[in-house]
A and B are shown apart, each in its own frame.
Chain A
Protein backbone atom coordinates (compact mmCIF):
# COMPACT_ATOMS: atom_id res chain seq x y z
CA UNK A 1 0.00 0.00 0.00
CA UNK A 2 1.17 3.52 -0.66
CA UNK A 3 2.44 5.72 2.14
CA UNK A 4 -0.56 7.98 1.53
CA UNK A 5 -2.97 5.13 2.23
CA UNK A 6 -1.02 4.08 5.30
CA UNK A 7 -1.10 7.62 6.67
CA UNK A 8 -4.85 7.76 6.05
CA UNK A 9 -5.39 4.49 7.91
CA UNK A 10 -3.21 5.76 10.76
CA UNK A 11 -5.56 8.75 11.02
CA UNK A 12 -8.49 6.34 11.31
CA UNK A 13 -6.73 4.52 14.16
CA UNK A 14 -4.29 2.01 12.69
CA UNK A 15 -0.93 1.68 14.41
CA UNK A 16 1.94 3.28 12.45
CA UNK A 17 3.83 0.79 10.32
CA UNK A 18 7.52 0.31 9.83
CA UNK A 19 8.46 0.97 6.19
CA UNK A 20 8.74 -2.12 4.00
CA UNK A 21 11.66 -0.76 2.07
CA UNK A 22 13.92 2.21 2.57
CA UNK A 23 15.15 4.27 -0.34
CA UNK A 24 18.83 4.34 -1.19
CA UNK A 25 18.98 8.02 -0.40
CA UNK A 26 17.54 7.52 3.08
CA UNK A 27 19.85 4.57 3.63
CA UNK A 28 22.88 6.69 2.68
CA UNK A 29 21.84 9.52 4.97
CA UNK A 30 21.44 7.11 7.88
CA UNK A 31 24.79 5.45 7.23
CA UNK A 32 26.49 8.82 7.06
CA UNK A 33 24.79 10.05 10.22
CA UNK A 34 25.98 7.19 12.41
CA UNK A 35 29.40 7.05 10.77
CA UNK A 36 30.88 8.76 13.82
CA UNK A 37 28.55 7.60 16.57
CA UNK A 38 30.27 9.47 19.39
CA UNK A 39 29.90 12.73 17.53
CA UNK A 40 26.26 11.94 16.75
CA UNK A 41 25.44 11.42 20.43
CA UNK A 42 27.33 14.58 21.30
CA UNK A 43 25.26 16.58 18.79
CA UNK A 44 22.07 14.99 20.01
CA UNK A 45 22.77 16.02 23.60
CA UNK A 46 23.70 19.50 22.46
CA UNK A 47 20.47 19.92 20.53
CA UNK A 48 18.43 18.73 23.50
CA UNK A 49 20.16 21.16 25.81
CA UNK A 50 19.62 23.99 23.36
CA UNK A 51 15.94 23.19 22.98
CA UNK A 52 15.52 23.17 26.74
CA UNK A 53 17.49 26.35 27.41
CA UNK A 54 16.06 28.54 24.65
CA UNK A 55 12.63 27.21 23.72
CA UNK A 56 11.10 28.79 20.65
CA UNK A 57 7.41 29.62 20.60
CA UNK A 58 7.32 31.36 17.25
CA UNK A 59 4.66 29.25 15.55
CA UNK A 60 2.68 28.70 18.71
CA UNK A 61 2.45 32.44 19.24
CA UNK A 62 1.42 33.09 15.66
CA UNK A 63 -1.14 30.36 15.97
CA UNK A 64 -2.61 31.55 19.25
CA UNK A 65 -2.76 35.09 17.88
CA UNK A 66 -4.60 33.81 14.79
CA UNK A 67 -7.01 31.70 16.84
CA UNK A 68 -7.84 34.60 19.14
CA UNK A 69 -8.11 37.04 16.22
CA UNK A 70 -10.51 34.84 14.25
CA UNK A 71 -12.78 34.28 17.24
CA UNK A 72 -12.54 37.93 18.26
CA UNK A 73 -13.48 38.91 14.72
CA UNK A 74 -16.75 36.98 15.16
CA UNK A 75 -17.39 38.60 18.54
CA UNK A 76 -16.60 42.17 17.56
CA UNK A 77 -18.38 41.90 14.25
CA UNK A 78 -21.58 41.25 16.20
CA UNK A 79 -21.01 43.32 19.33
CA UNK A 80 -19.86 46.41 17.43
CA UNK A 81 -22.39 45.73 14.67
CA UNK A 82 -19.72 45.77 11.95
CA UNK A 83 -21.60 43.00 10.09
CA UNK A 84 -18.47 41.80 8.31
CA UNK A 85 -18.43 38.30 9.73
CA UNK A 86 -21.91 37.24 10.82
CA UNK A 87 -22.74 33.99 12.57
CA UNK A 88 -20.64 31.54 14.54
CA UNK A 89 -18.09 28.85 13.69
CA UNK A 90 -20.80 26.38 12.66
CA UNK A 91 -21.98 28.72 9.90
CA UNK A 92 -21.29 32.32 9.03
CA UNK A 93 -21.18 34.90 6.31
CA UNK A 94 -18.01 36.79 5.54
CA UNK A 95 -18.77 39.99 3.63
CA UNK A 96 -21.92 38.29 2.44
CA UNK A 97 -20.29 35.01 1.36
CA UNK A 98 -21.58 31.88 3.05
CA UNK A 99 -19.13 29.83 5.08
CA UNK A 100 -20.34 26.56 6.61
CA UNK A 101 -18.37 24.30 8.90
CA UNK A 102 -17.91 20.99 7.13
CA UNK A 103 -18.87 18.76 10.02
CA UNK A 104 -21.89 20.89 10.97
CA UNK A 105 -22.95 20.86 7.32
CA UNK A 106 -22.61 17.09 7.22
CA UNK A 107 -24.73 16.67 10.36
CA UNK A 108 -27.47 18.94 8.98
CA UNK A 109 -27.46 17.29 5.57
CA UNK A 110 -27.75 13.83 7.13
CA UNK A 111 -30.42 14.86 9.63
CA UNK A 112 -32.52 17.03 7.33
CA UNK A 113 -31.90 15.10 4.09
CA UNK A 114 -32.33 18.28 2.11
CA UNK A 115 -29.65 20.68 0.94
CA UNK A 116 -30.50 24.29 0.15
CA UNK A 117 -28.25 26.12 -2.27
CA UNK A 118 -26.70 28.45 0.35
CA UNK A 119 -25.70 25.46 2.45
CA UNK A 120 -24.05 23.88 -0.55
CA UNK A 121 -22.23 27.06 -1.55
CA UNK A 122 -20.97 27.69 1.98
CA UNK A 123 -19.82 24.11 2.38
CA UNK A 124 -17.93 24.07 -0.90
CA UNK A 125 -16.28 27.41 -0.11
CA UNK A 126 -15.06 26.15 3.24
CA UNK A 127 -13.99 22.85 1.72
CA UNK A 128 -11.79 24.65 -0.80
CA UNK A 129 -10.48 27.00 1.91
CA UNK A 130 -9.29 24.12 4.07
CA UNK A 131 -7.97 22.13 1.15
CA UNK A 132 -5.69 25.10 0.58
CA UNK A 133 -4.89 25.67 4.24
CA UNK A 134 -4.43 22.08 5.32
CA UNK A 135 -7.54 20.43 6.76
CA UNK A 136 -6.91 20.04 10.46
CA UNK A 137 -5.28 23.45 10.42
CA UNK A 138 -8.83 24.38 11.43
CA UNK A 139 -8.36 22.51 14.72
CA UNK A 140 -5.21 24.19 15.95
CA UNK A 141 -5.50 27.60 14.30
CA UNK A 142 -9.24 28.32 14.66
CA UNK A 143 -11.11 26.01 17.06
CA UNK A 144 -11.54 27.81 20.41
CA UNK A 145 -11.70 24.51 22.30
CA UNK A 146 -8.20 23.66 21.08
CA UNK A 147 -6.77 26.66 22.93
CA UNK A 148 -8.49 25.78 26.22
CA UNK A 149 -7.49 22.18 25.72
CA UNK A 150 -3.85 23.17 25.23
CA UNK A 151 -3.95 24.99 28.54
CA UNK A 152 -5.58 21.97 30.18
CA UNK A 153 -2.81 19.86 28.66
CA UNK A 154 -0.17 22.07 30.29
CA UNK A 155 -1.91 21.57 33.63
CA UNK A 156 -2.13 17.83 33.00
CA UNK A 157 1.58 17.58 32.17
CA UNK A 158 2.55 19.66 35.20
CA UNK A 159 0.53 17.36 37.46
CA UNK A 160 1.89 14.28 35.70
CA UNK A 161 5.47 15.43 36.30
CA UNK A 162 4.68 15.53 40.00
CA UNK A 163 3.18 12.08 39.74
CA UNK A 164 -0.29 13.30 40.69
CA UNK A 165 -2.04 12.18 37.52
CA UNK A 166 -1.35 9.66 34.77
CA UNK A 167 -2.53 9.77 31.20
CA UNK A 168 -5.15 7.14 30.43
CA UNK A 169 -4.93 6.60 26.71
CA UNK A 170 -7.85 5.36 24.64
CA UNK A 171 -7.70 3.63 21.31
CA UNK A 172 -7.29 6.23 18.57
CA UNK A 173 -9.75 4.31 16.44
CA UNK A 174 -12.47 5.46 18.85
CA UNK A 175 -12.68 8.76 16.98
CA UNK A 176 -13.47 6.95 13.74
CA UNK A 177 -16.16 4.98 15.54
CA UNK A 178 -17.60 8.22 16.95
CA UNK A 179 -17.54 9.83 13.51
CA UNK A 180 -19.57 6.97 12.10
CA UNK A 181 -21.87 6.84 15.14
CA UNK A 182 -22.71 10.55 15.01
CA UNK A 183 -23.29 10.37 11.26
CA UNK A 184 -25.61 7.39 11.72
CA UNK A 185 -27.40 9.05 14.62
CA UNK A 186 -28.05 12.18 12.56
CA UNK A 187 -29.33 10.05 9.71
CA UNK A 188 -31.50 7.81 11.88
CA UNK A 189 -32.90 10.24 14.45
CA UNK A 190 -33.17 13.34 12.28
CA UNK A 191 -31.45 15.41 14.96
CA UNK A 192 -27.97 16.91 14.79
CA UNK A 193 -27.02 14.88 17.85
CA UNK A 194 -23.33 15.76 17.85
CA UNK A 195 -23.99 19.50 18.02
CA UNK A 196 -25.46 19.08 21.50
CA UNK A 197 -21.99 18.10 22.73
CA UNK A 198 -19.69 19.95 20.38
CA UNK A 199 -17.47 22.20 22.51
CA UNK A 200 -16.44 24.02 19.33
CA UNK A 201 -19.99 25.17 18.66
CA UNK A 202 -20.75 25.77 22.33
CA UNK A 203 -17.67 27.92 22.89
CA UNK A 204 -18.07 29.84 19.67
CA UNK A 205 -21.69 30.70 20.51
CA UNK A 206 -20.84 31.49 24.12
CA UNK A 207 -18.16 33.95 23.01
CA UNK A 208 -20.46 35.67 20.54
CA UNK A 209 -23.90 35.51 22.14
CA UNK A 210 -22.98 35.24 25.80
CA UNK A 211 -22.33 32.39 28.24
CA UNK A 212 -24.81 29.67 29.19
CA UNK A 213 -25.19 26.37 31.00
CA UNK A 214 -23.51 24.55 28.12
CA UNK A 215 -20.17 25.92 29.30
CA UNK A 216 -20.53 23.53 32.23
CA UNK A 217 -20.16 20.63 29.81
CA UNK A 218 -17.04 22.18 28.28
CA UNK A 219 -15.65 22.65 31.77
CA UNK A 220 -16.27 18.98 32.58
CA UNK A 221 -14.43 17.97 29.43
CA UNK A 222 -11.45 20.08 30.43
CA UNK A 223 -11.44 18.62 33.94
CA UNK A 224 -11.49 15.14 32.39
CA UNK A 225 -8.50 16.06 30.26
CA UNK A 226 -6.52 17.56 33.14
CA UNK A 227 -7.05 14.69 35.57
CA UNK A 228 -7.67 11.62 33.49
CA UNK A 229 -6.71 11.61 29.85
CA UNK A 230 -4.46 14.02 27.98
CA UNK A 231 -6.27 15.85 25.15
CA UNK A 232 -9.00 13.20 25.21
CA UNK A 233 -11.64 15.12 23.23
CA UNK A 234 -9.41 16.08 20.28
CA UNK A 235 -7.55 12.78 20.20
CA UNK A 236 -10.26 10.21 20.68
CA UNK A 237 -13.68 11.76 20.18
CA UNK A 238 -14.09 14.86 18.04
CA UNK A 239 -15.56 14.00 14.61
CA UNK A 240 -14.83 17.55 13.42
CA UNK A 241 -11.13 16.72 13.56
CA UNK A 242 -11.60 13.64 11.41
CA UNK A 243 -13.77 15.49 8.90
CA UNK A 244 -11.10 18.14 8.47
CA UNK A 245 -8.41 15.46 8.51
CA UNK A 246 -9.96 13.86 5.45
CA UNK A 247 -9.95 17.25 3.73
CA UNK A 248 -6.32 17.72 4.76
CA UNK A 249 -5.28 14.51 3.08
CA UNK A 250 -5.50 16.28 -0.27
CA UNK A 251 -3.98 19.54 0.96
CA UNK A 252 -0.65 20.84 -0.34
CA UNK A 253 0.10 22.64 2.94
CA UNK A 254 1.69 20.37 5.50
CA UNK A 255 4.58 19.87 7.85
CA UNK A 256 7.37 17.82 6.35
CA UNK A 257 10.19 15.83 7.86
CA UNK A 258 13.74 15.85 6.51
CA UNK A 259 15.75 12.87 7.61
CA UNK A 260 19.18 14.40 7.19
CA UNK A 261 19.26 17.04 9.95
CA UNK A 262 17.20 14.91 12.41
CA UNK A 263 18.99 13.74 15.54
CA UNK A 264 16.08 11.54 16.69
CA UNK A 265 15.86 13.02 20.20
CA UNK A 266 12.09 12.61 20.07
CA UNK A 267 11.14 16.00 21.53
CA UNK A 268 8.69 16.58 18.68
CA UNK A 269 6.65 13.51 19.60
CA UNK A 270 6.39 14.65 23.20
CA UNK A 271 4.71 17.96 22.34
CA UNK A 272 2.50 16.58 19.57
CA UNK A 273 -1.29 16.20 19.83
CA UNK A 274 -1.16 13.36 17.31
CA UNK A 275 2.28 11.76 17.80
CA UNK A 276 1.56 8.90 15.41
CA UNK A 277 2.08 11.33 12.49
CA UNK A 278 5.63 11.82 13.78
CA UNK A 279 6.37 8.09 13.85
CA UNK A 280 8.56 8.80 10.84
CA UNK A 281 11.00 10.70 13.09
CA UNK A 282 11.88 7.50 14.96
CA UNK A 283 15.24 6.08 13.95
CA UNK A 284 14.83 3.78 10.96
CA UNK A 285 11.21 4.66 10.21
CA UNK A 286 11.78 7.19 7.43
CA UNK A 287 11.66 5.62 3.99
CA UNK A 288 12.52 8.81 2.14
CA UNK A 289 14.86 11.74 2.66
CA UNK A 290 11.84 14.03 2.84
CA UNK A 291 8.44 12.87 4.11
CA UNK A 292 5.20 14.86 4.41
CA UNK A 293 3.42 14.18 7.69
CA UNK A 294 0.05 12.43 7.51
CA UNK A 295 -3.38 14.07 7.22
CA UNK A 296 -4.06 13.83 10.97
CA UNK A 297 -1.38 16.51 11.54
CA UNK A 298 -3.05 19.73 12.73
CA UNK A 299 -0.22 21.89 11.34
CA UNK A 300 0.05 23.44 14.82
CA UNK A 301 3.79 23.93 14.50
CA UNK A 302 4.73 22.79 18.02
CA UNK A 303 7.15 20.26 16.52
CA UNK A 304 8.53 22.91 14.17
CA UNK A 305 9.17 25.11 17.20
CA UNK A 306 10.79 22.38 19.26
CA UNK A 307 13.03 21.04 16.49
CA UNK A 308 16.30 22.92 16.69
CA UNK A 309 17.81 21.18 13.69
CA UNK A 310 15.28 22.27 11.11
CA UNK A 311 14.23 18.72 10.37
CA UNK A 312 10.55 19.66 10.67
CA UNK A 313 9.15 22.60 8.76
CA UNK A 314 6.09 23.88 6.97
CA UNK A 315 5.95 23.02 3.31
CA UNK A 316 3.70 23.73 0.40
CA UNK A 317 3.72 20.88 -2.06
CA UNK A 318 5.13 21.95 -5.39
CA UNK A 319 6.43 25.28 -4.07
CA UNK A 320 8.88 24.60 -1.24
Chain B
Protein backbone atom coordinates (compact mmCIF):
# COMPACT_ATOMS: atom_id res chain seq x y z
CA UNK B 1 0.00 0.00 0.00
CA UNK B 2 2.38 2.71 1.22
CA UNK B 3 5.28 2.24 -1.12
CA UNK B 4 8.56 3.72 0.12
CA UNK B 5 9.46 7.00 -1.51
CA UNK B 6 13.02 5.99 -2.43
CA UNK B 7 13.90 7.21 -5.91
CA UNK B 8 14.91 4.51 -8.35
CA UNK B 9 18.55 4.37 -9.35
CA UNK B 10 19.82 5.92 -6.15
CA UNK B 11 21.14 3.93 -3.24
CA UNK B 12 18.69 4.00 -0.33
CA UNK B 13 19.49 6.52 2.35
CA UNK B 14 19.03 5.52 6.00
CA UNK B 15 16.06 7.92 6.13
CA UNK B 16 14.24 6.22 3.29
CA UNK B 17 14.79 2.73 4.68
CA UNK B 18 13.40 3.97 7.98
CA UNK B 19 10.42 5.28 6.04
CA UNK B 20 10.01 1.90 4.40
CA UNK B 21 10.14 0.17 7.76
CA UNK B 22 7.46 2.49 9.10
CA UNK B 23 5.27 1.91 6.04
CA UNK B 24 5.63 -1.84 6.52
CA UNK B 25 4.67 -1.54 10.17
CA UNK B 26 1.58 0.49 9.28
CA UNK B 27 0.64 -2.08 6.67
CA UNK B 28 1.01 -5.01 9.08
CA UNK B 29 -0.92 -3.15 11.73
CA UNK B 30 -3.69 -2.31 9.27
CA UNK B 31 -3.93 -5.95 8.22
CA UNK B 32 -4.25 -6.88 11.87
CA UNK B 33 -7.00 -4.31 12.30
CA UNK B 34 -8.88 -5.68 9.29
CA UNK B 35 -8.63 -9.23 10.63
CA UNK B 36 -9.78 -8.17 14.10
CA UNK B 37 -12.76 -6.13 12.91
CA UNK B 38 -13.76 -8.87 10.48
CA UNK B 39 -13.54 -11.50 13.21
CA UNK B 40 -15.58 -9.45 15.64
CA UNK B 41 -18.24 -8.64 13.07
CA UNK B 42 -18.58 -12.27 12.00
CA UNK B 43 -19.05 -13.35 15.61
CA UNK B 44 -22.54 -11.96 15.04
CA UNK B 45 -23.17 -15.31 13.33
CA UNK B 46 -22.83 -17.29 16.54
CA UNK B 47 -26.20 -16.46 18.12
CA UNK B 48 -27.83 -17.18 14.74
CA UNK B 49 -26.33 -20.60 14.05
CA UNK B 50 -26.59 -21.48 17.73
CA UNK B 51 -30.31 -20.79 17.42
CA UNK B 52 -29.96 -19.11 20.77
CA UNK B 53 -32.05 -16.17 19.78
CA UNK B 54 -35.27 -17.85 18.68
CA UNK B 55 -37.32 -14.72 18.86
CA UNK B 56 -41.01 -14.22 18.29
CA UNK B 57 -41.15 -11.50 15.64
CA UNK B 58 -43.93 -8.91 15.27
CA UNK B 59 -46.85 -9.74 12.95
CA UNK B 60 -46.12 -9.65 9.26
CA UNK B 61 -42.44 -10.54 9.76
CA UNK B 62 -40.70 -12.25 6.86
CA UNK B 63 -39.06 -15.63 7.48
CA UNK B 64 -36.17 -15.23 9.88
CA UNK B 65 -33.26 -15.05 7.42
CA UNK B 66 -35.12 -12.62 5.15
CA UNK B 67 -36.28 -10.67 8.17
CA UNK B 68 -32.73 -10.20 9.45
CA UNK B 69 -31.60 -9.20 5.96
CA UNK B 70 -34.28 -6.59 5.47
CA UNK B 71 -34.70 -5.06 8.94
CA UNK B 72 -32.91 -1.71 9.09
CA UNK B 73 -32.96 -1.65 12.91
CA UNK B 74 -34.66 1.70 13.35
CA UNK B 75 -37.34 0.76 15.87
CA UNK B 76 -40.22 2.58 14.17
CA UNK B 77 -42.35 -0.49 14.94
CA UNK B 78 -41.50 -0.04 18.62
CA UNK B 79 -42.69 3.54 18.54
CA UNK B 80 -46.13 2.90 17.07
CA UNK B 81 -47.14 -0.09 19.22
CA UNK B 82 -49.90 1.04 21.60
CA UNK B 83 -49.15 -1.68 24.15
CA UNK B 84 -45.35 -1.49 23.90
CA UNK B 85 -45.09 -5.16 22.94
CA UNK B 86 -42.07 -4.73 20.70
CA UNK B 87 -38.52 -4.76 22.04
CA UNK B 88 -35.22 -4.52 20.20
CA UNK B 89 -32.50 -7.17 20.16
CA UNK B 90 -29.17 -6.40 21.81
CA UNK B 91 -25.63 -7.20 20.71
CA UNK B 92 -25.91 -10.74 22.14
CA UNK B 93 -28.45 -11.36 19.37
CA UNK B 94 -25.56 -11.03 16.91
CA UNK B 95 -26.87 -10.01 13.50
CA UNK B 96 -30.24 -9.65 15.23
CA UNK B 97 -29.05 -6.51 17.03
CA UNK B 98 -31.65 -3.77 16.92
CA UNK B 99 -34.31 -6.06 15.40
CA UNK B 100 -37.78 -6.13 16.93
CA UNK B 101 -39.13 -9.09 18.87
CA UNK B 102 -41.97 -9.79 21.24
CA UNK B 103 -41.65 -11.36 24.65
CA UNK B 104 -45.24 -12.56 24.74
CA UNK B 105 -45.29 -13.59 28.38
CA UNK B 106 -44.31 -10.04 29.40
CA UNK B 107 -46.34 -8.16 26.82
CA UNK B 108 -48.10 -9.76 23.90
CA UNK B 109 -49.40 -8.13 20.75
CA UNK B 110 -53.13 -7.79 21.30
CA UNK B 111 -53.82 -6.01 17.99
CA UNK B 112 -55.33 -3.12 19.89
CA UNK B 113 -54.06 -0.88 17.08
CA UNK B 114 -56.53 -2.82 14.85
CA UNK B 115 -54.32 -2.65 11.77
CA UNK B 116 -50.86 -3.84 12.84
CA UNK B 117 -49.31 -0.38 12.98
CA UNK B 118 -45.85 -1.95 13.14
CA UNK B 119 -46.33 -3.33 9.63
CA UNK B 120 -47.44 0.06 8.34
CA UNK B 121 -44.47 1.75 10.03
CA UNK B 122 -41.80 -0.58 8.65
CA UNK B 123 -39.82 1.27 5.96
CA UNK B 124 -38.06 -1.74 4.45
CA UNK B 125 -40.77 -4.39 4.24
CA UNK B 126 -39.24 -6.59 6.95
CA UNK B 127 -42.74 -6.48 8.41
CA UNK B 128 -45.18 -6.56 5.56
CA UNK B 129 -48.66 -7.40 4.36
CA UNK B 130 -47.36 -8.00 0.87
CA UNK B 131 -44.50 -10.42 0.66
CA UNK B 132 -42.46 -9.98 -2.53
CA UNK B 133 -43.21 -12.76 -5.03
CA UNK B 134 -39.71 -14.22 -4.96
CA UNK B 135 -40.02 -15.17 -1.29
CA UNK B 136 -41.76 -18.52 -0.88
CA UNK B 137 -44.31 -19.18 1.84
CA UNK B 138 -43.26 -22.02 4.10
CA UNK B 139 -45.85 -24.78 4.33
CA UNK B 140 -47.78 -24.47 7.54
CA UNK B 141 -47.18 -20.75 7.84
CA UNK B 142 -49.97 -19.62 5.52
CA UNK B 143 -53.30 -18.66 7.03
CA UNK B 144 -56.19 -20.09 5.07
CA UNK B 145 -58.06 -16.78 5.24
CA UNK B 146 -57.20 -13.32 6.60
CA UNK B 147 -57.72 -13.35 10.37
CA UNK B 148 -60.76 -11.47 11.66
CA UNK B 149 -60.32 -9.31 14.70
CA UNK B 150 -62.93 -9.92 17.36
CA UNK B 151 -62.77 -6.19 18.05
CA UNK B 152 -63.87 -5.58 14.52
CA UNK B 153 -67.10 -7.55 14.95
CA UNK B 154 -69.00 -4.25 15.03
CA UNK B 155 -67.13 -2.99 12.00
CA UNK B 156 -67.78 -5.24 9.02
CA UNK B 157 -64.69 -6.20 7.11
CA UNK B 158 -62.28 -5.45 9.98
CA UNK B 159 -59.83 -8.11 8.97
CA UNK B 160 -56.08 -8.16 9.31
CA UNK B 161 -54.57 -8.74 5.94
CA UNK B 162 -52.03 -11.12 7.44
CA UNK B 163 -51.25 -14.02 5.17
CA UNK B 164 -48.86 -15.86 7.43
CA UNK B 165 -48.43 -16.58 11.11
CA UNK B 166 -45.34 -15.60 13.08
CA UNK B 167 -45.74 -18.39 15.59
CA UNK B 168 -48.24 -20.82 16.97
CA UNK B 169 -49.88 -21.14 20.38
CA UNK B 170 -49.66 -24.50 22.04
CA UNK B 171 -50.95 -25.96 25.26
CA UNK B 172 -47.43 -26.92 26.18
CA UNK B 173 -48.23 -28.01 29.72
CA UNK B 174 -51.77 -29.42 29.86
CA UNK B 175 -51.20 -30.59 33.42
CA UNK B 176 -50.88 -27.00 34.62
CA UNK B 177 -53.91 -25.71 32.73
CA UNK B 178 -56.70 -24.67 35.12
CA UNK B 179 -59.38 -25.61 32.60
CA UNK B 180 -57.93 -29.09 32.20
CA UNK B 181 -57.96 -29.38 35.98
CA UNK B 182 -61.57 -28.21 35.96
CA UNK B 183 -60.70 -25.11 37.99
CA UNK B 184 -61.97 -21.56 37.75
CA UNK B 185 -60.07 -18.32 38.19
CA UNK B 186 -60.70 -15.13 40.15
CA UNK B 187 -58.62 -11.97 40.30
CA UNK B 188 -56.14 -10.17 38.04
CA UNK B 189 -54.75 -12.66 35.52
CA UNK B 190 -51.10 -12.14 36.38
CA UNK B 191 -51.22 -10.64 39.84
CA UNK B 192 -50.93 -7.05 40.96
CA UNK B 193 -47.27 -6.54 40.07
CA UNK B 194 -47.69 -7.41 36.38
CA UNK B 195 -47.19 -4.45 34.05
CA UNK B 196 -48.62 -5.91 30.84
CA UNK B 197 -51.47 -4.10 29.08
CA UNK B 198 -54.43 -5.02 26.98
CA UNK B 199 -57.29 -3.29 25.24
CA UNK B 200 -60.73 -4.23 26.59
CA UNK B 201 -63.59 -3.33 24.30
CA UNK B 202 -66.03 -2.95 27.18
CA UNK B 203 -63.67 -0.58 29.03
CA UNK B 204 -62.20 1.64 26.34
CA UNK B 205 -62.24 0.91 22.63
CA UNK B 206 -59.07 2.95 22.05
CA UNK B 207 -56.95 2.84 25.15
CA UNK B 208 -55.23 -0.30 26.50
CA UNK B 209 -55.21 -0.67 30.30
CA UNK B 210 -52.99 -2.72 32.62
CA UNK B 211 -54.12 -6.32 33.12
CA UNK B 212 -54.05 -5.83 36.87
CA UNK B 213 -56.85 -3.23 36.59
CA UNK B 214 -59.14 -5.76 34.97
CA UNK B 215 -59.74 -8.71 37.33
CA UNK B 216 -61.62 -11.75 36.13
CA UNK B 217 -64.09 -14.10 37.68
CA UNK B 218 -64.49 -17.38 35.86
CA UNK B 219 -66.11 -20.62 37.06
CA UNK B 220 -63.92 -22.45 34.56
CA UNK B 221 -60.76 -20.63 33.51
CA UNK B 222 -61.03 -19.75 29.84
CA UNK B 223 -58.94 -16.57 29.64
CA UNK B 224 -56.88 -17.77 26.69
CA UNK B 225 -60.07 -18.38 24.75
CA UNK B 226 -62.00 -15.22 25.62
CA UNK B 227 -59.04 -12.83 25.46
CA UNK B 228 -57.69 -14.07 22.14
CA UNK B 229 -58.04 -11.10 19.77
CA UNK B 230 -58.53 -13.28 16.69
CA UNK B 231 -61.82 -14.96 15.80
CA UNK B 232 -61.75 -18.77 15.62
CA UNK B 233 -58.12 -19.07 16.67
CA UNK B 234 -58.74 -20.97 19.87
CA UNK B 235 -61.75 -22.70 21.44
CA UNK B 236 -62.64 -24.58 24.58
CA UNK B 237 -63.45 -28.15 23.77
CA UNK B 238 -64.83 -30.80 26.02
CA UNK B 239 -63.71 -34.37 26.13
CA UNK B 240 -64.60 -37.39 28.15
CA UNK B 241 -62.28 -38.46 30.93
CA UNK B 242 -61.36 -42.00 31.81
CA UNK B 243 -64.37 -42.42 34.03
CA UNK B 244 -66.65 -40.84 31.44
CA UNK B 245 -66.70 -37.48 33.28
CA UNK B 246 -66.55 -34.29 31.18
CA UNK B 247 -63.25 -32.41 30.94
CA UNK B 248 -62.29 -29.22 29.11
CA UNK B 249 -59.23 -27.94 27.39
CA UNK B 250 -58.34 -25.04 25.10
CA UNK B 251 -57.63 -26.12 21.54
CA UNK B 252 -55.64 -23.94 19.13
CA UNK B 253 -57.05 -23.64 15.62
CA UNK B 254 -55.50 -22.91 12.28
CA UNK B 255 -56.38 -19.20 12.40
CA UNK B 256 -53.84 -18.67 15.22
CA UNK B 257 -51.35 -16.00 14.13
CA UNK B 258 -49.04 -16.35 17.12
CA UNK B 259 -49.69 -12.99 18.77
CA UNK B 260 -49.13 -14.39 22.25
CA UNK B 261 -52.10 -12.98 24.16
CA UNK B 262 -53.02 -16.46 25.45
CA UNK B 263 -49.50 -16.85 26.85
CA UNK B 264 -49.65 -13.43 28.50
CA UNK B 265 -53.03 -13.95 30.19
CA UNK B 266 -52.44 -17.55 31.30
CA UNK B 267 -52.70 -17.21 35.07
CA UNK B 268 -50.56 -20.18 36.10
CA UNK B 269 -46.84 -19.83 36.56
CA UNK B 270 -45.10 -20.84 34.37
CA UNK B 271 -47.72 -20.56 31.65
CA UNK B 272 -49.55 -23.64 30.43
CA UNK B 273 -50.12 -21.95 27.10
CA UNK B 274 -47.04 -20.79 25.19
CA UNK B 275 -46.19 -19.43 21.78
CA UNK B 276 -43.69 -21.26 19.68
CA UNK B 277 -41.94 -18.68 17.54
CA UNK B 278 -41.90 -19.50 13.82
CA UNK B 279 -43.75 -22.77 14.43
CA UNK B 280 -45.81 -24.17 11.60
CA UNK B 281 -49.39 -25.29 11.84
CA UNK B 282 -49.84 -28.93 12.57
CA UNK B 283 -52.82 -30.93 13.65
CA UNK B 284 -51.50 -31.47 17.09
CA UNK B 285 -51.87 -34.13 19.62
CA UNK B 286 -54.03 -31.69 21.64
Contact = CB atoms under 8 A, between A and B. Distances in A.
B33 A112 contact: no
Interface stretch (B65-73, B138-146, B172-180, B269-277): B65-73
Contacts of A92: 74, 76
A118 interface: yes
B69 A78 contact: no
A108 B124 CA distance: 8
Interface in B49-99: 65-66, 68-76, 78-80, 88, 90-92, 94-95, 97-98
Contact of B70 (A93, A114, A209, A214): A114
A114 B34 CA distance: 29
Given A108-B72, A190-B69, A209 B78 contact: yes
B284 interface: no
Contacts of B27: 171
A160 B216 CA distance: 67
B72 A91 contact: yes
A25 B76 CA distance: 55
Interface residues on A, range: 35 or more
A112 B69 contact: yes
A205 B93 CA distance: 15
B26 A90 contact: no
A90 B72 contact: yes
A88 B33 contact: no
A112 B66 contact: yes
Contact of A209 (B37, B71, B75): B75
Interface string B27-39: 1011001100110
Interface string A167-198: 01111011001100110010001111111110
Contacts of B73: 88, 90-91, 104, 192, 195, 201, 205
Nearest to B5: A15
A60 B76 CA distance: 31
Interface stretch (B40-48, B104-112, B147-155, B244-252): B40-48
Contact of B97 (A168, A202, A208): A202
A87 B34 contact: no
Contacts of A105: 72
A111 B66 CA distance: 9
B30 A174 contact: yes
Nearest to B95: A191
B160 interface: no
Contacts of B90: 212-214
Contacts of A15: 2
A247 interface: no
B15 interface: no
A185 B79 CA distance: 30
A71 to B, nearest CB: 14
B263 to A, nearest CB: 23
A87 B68 contact: no
- Among B27, B74, B121, B134: residue with most chain A CB under 10 A: B74
Given A88-B73, A197-B40, A191 B33 contact: no
A100 interface: yes
A196 B74 contact: no
A86 interface: yes
A181 B34 CA distance: 9
B123 A174 contact: no
Contacts of A119: 72, 123-125
Nearest to B134: A114
A191 B78 CA distance: 21
A84 B79 CA distance: 11
A208 B124 contact: no
Given A114-B134, A197-B37, A86 B91 contact: no
A66 B134 CA distance: 43
Nearest to B67: A112
Contacts of B91: 196, 202, 212-214, 216-217
A182 B76 CA distance: 25
Nearest to A168: B29
Nearest to A174: B30
A170 B75 CA distance: 35
Contacts of A217: 91
B132 interface: yes
Nearest to B135: A114
B203 interface: no
Nearest to A195: B73
Nearest to B77: A87
- Among A105, A168, A208, A214: residue with most chain B CB under 10 A: A214
A295 interface: no
- Among A92, A100, A196, A212: residue with most chain B CB under 10 A: A196
B193 interface: no
A232 B173 CA distance: 53
A13 B27 CA distance: 12
A193 B74 contact: no
B240 interface: no
A212 B74 CA distance: 15
Given A202-B91, A237-B33, A191 B68 contact: yes
Contact of A193 (B42, B78, B124): B42
A178 B34 contact: yes
A171 B68 contact: no
22 contacts: A13-B1, A15-B2, A88-B74, A91-B76, A92-B74, A92-B76, A93-B123, A108-B72, A114-B125, A114-B132, A116-B124, A116-B128, A116-B132, A118-B124, A170-B26, A170-B33, A171-B1, A193-B41, A197-B37, A201-B73, A205-B73, A213-B92
